[in-house]
Amino acid sequence: MTAELIDLRPALAVVISLACAGAVFAARENARWRAIWSLSAAGVKFALVWSMLPGALGGAVYSFRVGEVLPGVAFGFRVDALGLFFALVSSTLWVLTTVYALAYMRKSHSLSRFFGYFALCISTTVGIAFAENLFTLFVFYELLTVCTYPLIMHNEDLAARRAGRKYLVYTLSGGGLILAGMAMVYASSGTLSLAQAGILDASAGGTTLLVIFVLLIAGFGVKAALMPLHAWLPAAMVAPTPVSALLHAVAVVKAGVFGIIRVIYDVFGADLLRQLGYTDWLAVLAGAVIIIASVKALRQRHIKARLAWSTISQLSYIVLAASLLAPLGTLAAIIHIANQAFSKITMFFVAGVIERGTGKTRVDELAGVGRQMPWTMAAFTLASLSFIGVPLTAGFVTKWYLSLGALQGGREVFVGVMVVSGLLNAAYWLPMVYQAFFRPMPADRKAPAGVSPMMVGPVLICAAYIILLGAGASAPAMPFSLAEAAARFAIELKASVE
Amino acid sequence: MSGILPNWLLPGLAVALPVTGSLVIFRAGHWKHRMTGLAVTGTVLLVTLALTVIMAVTVADGNRIDLVLFPLLPPWPVAFRVDAMGAVFAMTVAGLFALAMMHAVGYLPDDRRQWRFHGFLLASLGCLIGVALAANLLTLLLFYEVFSLLAYPLIVHERKPEAFNAALKYLVYILSGGALVFTGIVLVQHIAGSGTFVAGGMLPDGASDPALIVAWAALMTGFGVKAALMPLHGWVPDVHPAAPSPFSAVLSGVMVAAGVFAILRVLFEIFGAGLLQRLGVLPWLAAFAGFAVIAGAMRAVAEDDLKRRLAYSTISQMAYVSLAASLASQTALAGALVHIVHHAFFKGGLFLCAGLIIATTGVRRISRMRGLGRRMPWTAGTLTLLALAMIGVPPLSGFTGKWVLGSGMAQAGGYAHLAIILAGSLLAALYLWPVVYRIWQTAEEPGPDCGEIPDRKPRQDNRWMLTAVLATGLITILLGLAPRLPGFPLELAETAARTLLGSPAWK
Amino acid sequence: MTHWPHWLPLVAALPMVGGVLTPLLFRSRPSLAWAWAVSIASVTTLASSALLLTLVGSGPFSYAVGGWLPDYGIELQFDPVSALISPVCIIGLLSLIFSRRYVERSIDPKKVSFFYALVLVNLGGLNGFMMTGDLFNMFVFMEIFSVSAYALVATAREPIAALAAFKYLLMGALSSLLVLFSAGVVFAMTGTLNIADAASRMDVAGPMPAALALAALATGFAVKAALFPVHFWLPDAHAAAPAPVSAILSALVVKAGVVGMLRTLELFAGAEQLLQPLLTSLVWLGALGALGGALMALVQRDIKLMLAYSTVANIGYIFIGLGLATASAATGAMAHTLNHAVIKSALFLAAGAIIHRTGLRHIDDLRGLARRMPVTSFAMAFALVSLSGVPPMAGFVGKWQIAVGALQAGRPAVLAVMIIAGLIVLAFSVRVINALYFRPPSRISVASATEVPLSMLLPIAILTAGCLGLGMTGQPVLEFVAPVIKNLYGAVP
């Protein structure tokens, strides 16, 4: 069924953005070449990643091994269904974000640095997705931290520096934890390969396993903004909007949850964790985070802050779903990577458009914006509905499978969490929609200026994707079946998905 | 009859056409002539109505039309199934929407925003038909949630502050209800592995009782919010007066009914009468419904605002259906279904009358309606007719429904139920008669606290509204006089009731 | 060419002779002196590469100087530890190339030829030290490179340089004394100074003299390597020296202490009761050094002082690795010896380039420099990230191996220490990177700075590339040094 094929494409997908970064750096302040390089690399990578989809759907696993870096520690790529799903999401979003960023950042400074590191981030993200072993994953994970840092600091003012410092302190400490965990995994099993659905076994001893679990989950949990470790994310909202999109949707937080999924299913393995029961605690934590972060979001007045807290809540959906260890829960975890990404990036794009167009950044300033920018706000509404979990939108798919997964895993209480969270989402998104569409516009509002079609276009495409993901799961060329395959592989329970 | 189109296409078209139409209509504000937009709207409505009628005729003899669209959440598909119960509800929905839309043309000022109203109305029509024709819980949930949300812009269309407050209340109620429905559906899905409606129930007997009861309670409360079952009715009396009248008509006539409809589906095609009796949950439903019939009606008596009074009356009237359902008797069920249809038209008609009165005179309070009969004889006449129908005077449609309902209850031995229904009707007379009395009261005999209808110049184009109002009156008479014509509600309802209770239709 | 045995003494002798000749020949012509020094260093580098190739091709070999047999003559040997001369030569050569323009500003022109002479002598001494298998020779070579190092520190124009050099000299003299003393003890016990012979004759049963020798040797080399708590001479000396000298000192000279320790351990292989306390204390001291050095680096504002303290921290890592005495930890320590040399020399040269152009060394003064000196700043940032051990850069290889070794040896606390120290290193790296990249310039000399000339840029670039390259090729390096471990501790766990 699963055939390993040696293929250069996984490596190429990583290298292409790397080359793009080099070209962008070399282009210095030449705006045209910068745009050309960024867009063409985004396009080529998009094509490369998607070209692996048919094969992957057919059960093929593409791999490319660079070599052993350290004894027993190889540097290599392996494209399984889960990794490809993640890569599909981020490479698709990269195209849109690049287009958006080119328009959004037009008047900014240090643009070659910005776009160069932007490309590097995606390069490392795809590296994370395609990593064959924990070491390769860790390498790219750390590089991602390094590459996002200049982007968060882009404004170079006090707030940006604070945010950047916070970000680094958190993520690098997380990296340290992962390193420790990884060393312990290696010491107790002699391999770091992610290819065999669980490399640890009970013989390692309870304490060791617990320590490894805590280290790895906490380490990845930093980027996944799992709650006691989340503080960097709301702080990082000072970054330019495309960077927020990158943080919240395309790369960074997703790398964290992706890592958690890998840890649960590929380092420990569902069977082992079922015996150990650690994931029950993780699920409880995630459930609490979902609710607490939503309540926090409710109290934010700044649009991007609200978005950031919502991200924290939404990411815990993925963590919760993954830790249910039920086939449908796993499916929900994987699917939500895409669902959250598209919904949240729509919102960030919209927040950016509003900021550029009207200068408004606060929730209570939105009155009448819907009339000024009907399409943009319609997209925002759609994304809100998706988070609330209205059928036909992407978010419903998650809510549905997650709830069923919770029942399947015998954790009924999380259905309640889903329901409450859906209502909380309604409570903080709908007032924004209400403000935008149903409140009269203040008389002194100026007509929006400086919003180019290059910003609105990505917004609408993302919004269309929300519908597509929500309604077109079975449509051809939708990666849903890929997610299903990944879930099946992760949980090794074919029957119950069907 | 359906030779022109393949049968399986009918349900898909009936849903897709209004939804697509709505997308077109949103842009109608930019068109040159208003009539173009109206023509498009009208065509869409009429074709949709025709489609529902064709479906009703096709399934009248117990046939079914099945259409599986695509797996929305693999492996669970979005699917339509036209059966008698769905068809009769779909037909009612399409008919009432057509009348409401006609009324709205006159009611709303002629500006660009009216197209927003029409657009959202068409979209919710599509979704309601989707609810009627859904073949499984997932499909039902999909359309149910979407039309609940689509109602929001319709309620606040006139941008009155009280409308915003009411709409917020609506949203809180409906979203919470939706969340409960979601919970229930997920539970059912988990217990049974599917959510497809099967006549006579589909839940396996082996499932644990607590899980079943939780699922049942979640679904009943969830849909009960929409169906305005009494402790959950809070949004109804606020939203109805605040919404534009044509939408109040739809809201009261079919949207509340959609909740009841969903309750019927869940009771008899998910749980099944046998399982419900085993679980012993039906008395609970009866208690709540009975309470709603009486309490709703009593609140109605106390209201002076015409639309609020009608809103409470809806709470009371719709509880009849739940009450009948709790008996699980075939005739009572048939009566309940017929009552849904008939109620849609007379209650819708009453709201349209109220809208016409408000639009023409600006008066909302019953105590100030003295002399209306002289000013607006046609409207007043229709209002009287509809009021009589609701009270249950033969040979109007209200009577037919209640007769079948009542006789069914009597057959099944539900005398307490019957008594409640009778009391409800009595109370209906109590709260409607003063209205009729007041509007026909001549201006020369002033009462102590009665205001007179102000002399305002009526709007020029109230012909649209008047036509709609008169049409409801005609339908009420027609349904009352000839309920048993083929393809008419009663016949369909009887088929549906037979099917619901698990005896195949062809026996 | 493949195996001309005389390369072996030549790599030690050539730089020394060439060095002595430099002031004689080119006293008044600094640029010719530079060319001379570079060509001598190049030839030495080529020779060392040839030796390395031979080693890889046909295994370790030795050379008896003048044909005398080991007991009496000087024996030079070439094994994977000696192979360190290859990077030593390369880093020395690059530092020399770098020096050309650097010394123009920072050293009295009259002293320039002496400067080159000292660098060459230092290089020769290091090469000899790495290759010799004889305790006394070791002492001699150690004196050669140490004395030249003291003098090199003193060449700087910094007012503090003389004092720093003096401090360095005092500690260095103590270290040499200890080594000489223990050489005597060993000779007295075994009648030979050849380490291999002595190891076979060593009577470890009678603990007292052997323990004394071991203690003296270990302390001596620990001082040389600046292991905590005898590190205090290092920061001042390294920070005060001219930048290329700092590079050589921090990257190479302290490593001589590590190599010395390795050889010493060989001498006592199998003496479990003697080694165990030593190894344990090495782990502890290494851990304290790693933490303390990193913390001290964190509070420094002077960029060179910061780098100097970071050397203390990294020496700590290396000794942790040696002390853990498991295969992967010890190989990791040796790999880190090499990798740290490359990273630290890149850093000191980059810092030198910055100081050369701006005259500033306080971190806060360097704000906004990246826009004026992009290549140097990038090298600095890159090497700093590498230093902190972010994979796949060079700093990671050794630390990973040591960490795995720590777990295998059942000491997870060491792992925690290393990770915390790594994070602290990251913290001060980030501070430098922030200043360079994300702050507006605050000093005129920064705003008007330009990129350094190619002769300075090239060494920096090559070493920076090495930071990445060595990280990617960790596996071959580890395999290369693995055989040494076998005869290091006797029975390796």
Ranking A56-60, B171-175, B187-191, B262-266 by mean pLDDT, the lowest is A56-60
A152 within 8 A of A121, measured Cβ to Cβ: no
| Three-class DSSP category at C9 | helix
Hey, what are A6's tokens?
Answer: 């040696």
Hey, what are C383's tokens?
Answer: 């090497």
Contacts A416 to B, Cβ<8 Å: 183
Question: For the segment A144-156, what is each residue's pLDDT rounded down to a tens digit?
Answer: 888 888 888 888 8
Q: Which amino acid is at B184?
A: G
Name which residue leads in pLDDT, B383 or B483: B383
Q: How far is A411 from chain B (nearest CA, A)?
A: 12
Q: A474 vs B187: CB contact, 8 Å cut-off?
A: no
Please tell me the total number of residues recorded for chain A in this structure: 498
Residues of chain A that touch chain B, judged by Cβ-Cβ distance less than 8 Å: 385, 388-392, 397, 399-401, 403-404, 407-408, 415-416, 419-420, 422-423, 426, 430, 437-438, 440, 471-475, 480-481, 484, 498
Name which residue leads in pLDDT, A73 or A254: A254
- Tell which residue, C173, C300, C175, has the closest CA to residue C239: C300
Question: For the segment C352-383, what is each residue's pLDDT rounded down to a tens digit?
Answer: 999 998 888 898 888 888 888 989 999 999 99
Mutation target vs C (from A29, A65, A69; most C CBs, 10 A cutoff): A69
A212 within 8 A of C448, measured Cβ to Cβ: no
Question: For the segment C227-241, what is each residue's pLDDT rounded down to a tens digit?
Answer: 888 888 888 888 888
A417 within 8 A of A375, measured Cβ to Cβ: no
Q: How many CB atoms lie within 10 A of CB A261?
A: 25
Query: Does any domain span residue B1?
Result: no
Mean pLDDT of B392-409: 86
Question: For the segment A378-420, what is each residue's pLDDT rounded down to a tens digit?
Answer: 999 999 999 998 888 888 988 999 999 999 888 889 999 999 9
Which of B142, B179, B186 lies closest to A391 in CB terms?
A: B142
- Mean pLDDT of chain C, nearest integer: 86
Question: Which stretch of DSSP H or E encloses residue B4?
Answer: none
Q: B187 vs A473: CB contact, 8 Å cut-off?
A: no
Q: A389 vs B182: CB contact, 8 Å cut-off?
A: yes
d(CA A478, CA A482): 8
For a pLDDT cut of 70, what percent of chain C falls above it? 95
Contacts A11 to C, Cβ<8 Å: none
Q: A437 vs B153: CB contact, 8 Å cut-off?
A: yes
d(CA A265, CA B100): 56
Q: Nearest-CA residue of chain A relative to C419?
A: A176
What range defines the domain where residue B414 resides?
A: 9-500
d(CA C222, CA C260): 9
Helical spans, DSSP H, in B193-255: 209-227, 236-242, 245-250
Q: How many CB atoms lie within 10 A of CB B484?
A: 10
Contacts B183 to A, Cβ<8 Å: 403, 415-416, 419
Contacts B73 to A, Cβ<8 Å: 397, 400-401, 473
Contacts B126 to A, Cβ<8 Å: none
Q: Nearest-CA residue of chain B relative to A402?
A: B186
State the pLDDT at residue C68. 62
State the pLDDT at residue A75. 85
Contacts C427 to A, Cβ<8 Å: 169, 172
**Confidence category of residue A217, pLDDT binned at 50, 70, 90:** very high
d(CA C253, CA C126): 7
At residue B504, does pLDDT exceed 50? no
**Confidence category of residue B363, pLDDT binned at 50, 70, 90:** confident
C316 within 8 A of C293, measured Cβ to Cβ: yes
**Confidence category of residue A496, pLDDT binned at 50, 70, 90:** very low
For a pLDDT cut of 90, what percent of chain C falls above it? 33
At residue C492, does pLDDT exceed 60? no
Hey, what are A303's tokens?
Answer: 């649009």
Q: Nearest-CA residue of chain B relative to A438?
A: B159
CB pairs under 8 A between A and B: 69
State the pLDDT at residue B448. 47
Q: Which residues contact A30 (CB under 8 A, 6 or more apart)?
A: none
**Confidence category of residue C201, pLDDT binned at 50, 70, 90:** confident
Query: Does any domain span residue B358?
Result: yes
At residue A477, does pLDDT exceed 60? yes
Question: For the segment B445-488, what is each residue's pLDDT rounded down to a tens digit?
Answer: 555 444 555 555 555 557 888 888 888 888 888 888 877 777 67
B74 touches chain A (CB under 8 A): yes
- Mean pLDDT of chain B, nearest integer: 85
Ranking A67-76, A354-363, C114-123 by mean pLDDT, the lowest is A67-76
ipTM above 0.90, yes or no: no
Q: Nearest-CA residue of chain B relative to A473?
A: B72
d(CA A228, CA A236): 16
Query: Does any domain span residue B506?
Result: no
Name which residue leads in pLDDT, C264 or B170: B170
Q: Which residue has the tokens 């950016």?
A: A352
Name which residue leads in pLDDT, A316 or C30: A316
Looking at residue A364, the DSSP 8-state letter turns out to be: G
Question: For the segment C35-94, what is each residue's pLDDT rounded down to a tens digit?
Answer: 999 999 999 999 999 888 888 888 888 887 766 665 566 778 888 888 888 999 999 999
State the pLDDT at residue C175. 92
**Confidence category of residue A424, pLDDT binned at 50, 70, 90:** very high
Task: For the full predicted model, state whether its pTM sits above 0.90.
Answer: no
Mean pLDDT of B282-296: 91
B neighbours by CB contacts (3+ pairs under 8 Å): A
Pick from A131-135, C25-29, C55-59, C273-277 the range whose average pLDDT is largest: A131-135
- Angle of helix A252-262 relative to helix A111-130, nearest 10 degrees, comes to 10
Q: How far is C247 from chain A (nearest CA, A)?
A: 26
Write the CA distances from C210 to B381, C216, C264, C268, C275, integer angstroms: 123, 10, 12, 8, 11
Question: Which stretch of DSSP H or E encloses residue A475?
Answer: none
B176 touches chain A (CB under 8 A): yes
Ranking B24-33, B40-49, C62-71 by mean pLDDT, the lowest is C62-71
C392 touches chain A (CB under 8 A): yes
Q: How many CB atoms lie within 10 A of CB B443?
A: 14
Q: How many Cα atoms sit within 13 Å of B8 on the Cβ side? A: 5
Contacts A157 to C, Cβ<8 Å: none
Contacts B138 to A, Cβ<8 Å: 391
d(CA C438, CA B407): 84
Q: B141 vs A391: CB contact, 8 Å cut-off?
A: yes
Strand partners, A62: A5, A79
Residue B131: phi and psi, rounded to 5, are -60, -45
Tell me if there are at least 3 CB pairs under 8 Å linking chains A and C: yes
Name which residue leads in pLDDT, A67 or B93: B93
- Tell which residue, A64, A156, A178, has the closest CA to residue A110: A156
Q: B74 vs A473: CB contact, 8 Å cut-off?
A: yes
Q: How far is B173 from chain A (nearest CA, A)?
A: 11
| Three-class DSSP category at A5 | strand
d(CA C215, CA C297): 29
Contacts A142 to C, Cβ<8 Å: 390-391
Which of A392, A473, A498 lies closest to B142 in CB terms?
A: A392
Q: What is the side-by-side order of every strand in the sheet holding A3-6?
A: A3-6, A60-70, A73-79
Query: Does any domain span residue B3?
Result: no
Looking at residue B112, the DSSP 8-state letter turns out to be: T
Contacts A390 to B, Cβ<8 Å: 145-146, 149
Ranking A337-346, B191-200, C115-124, C302-311 by mean pLDDT, the lowest is B191-200
Q: How far is A130 from chain C (nearest CA, A)?
A: 16
What is the domain count for chain B?
1
Question: For the segment C434-463, what is each residue's pLDDT rounded down to a tens digit?
Answer: 888 888 888 888 888 888 889 899 999 999
Question: For the segment C302-311, what is each residue's pLDDT rounded down to a tens digit?
Answer: 999 999 999 9
**Confidence category of residue B2, pLDDT binned at 50, 70, 90:** very low
- Mean pLDDT of chain A, nearest integer: 86
Which of C420, C434, C475 lies closest to A70 in CB terms?
A: C475
C416 touches chain A (CB under 8 A): yes
Which of C390, C403, C423 lies closest to A183 in CB terms?
A: C403
Contacts C333 to A, Cβ<8 Å: none
B161 touches chain A (CB under 8 A): no
d(CA A94, CA B156): 39
- Map out the domains of chain C as residue ranges: 274-493
Q: Which residue has the tokens 């402790």?
A: B231
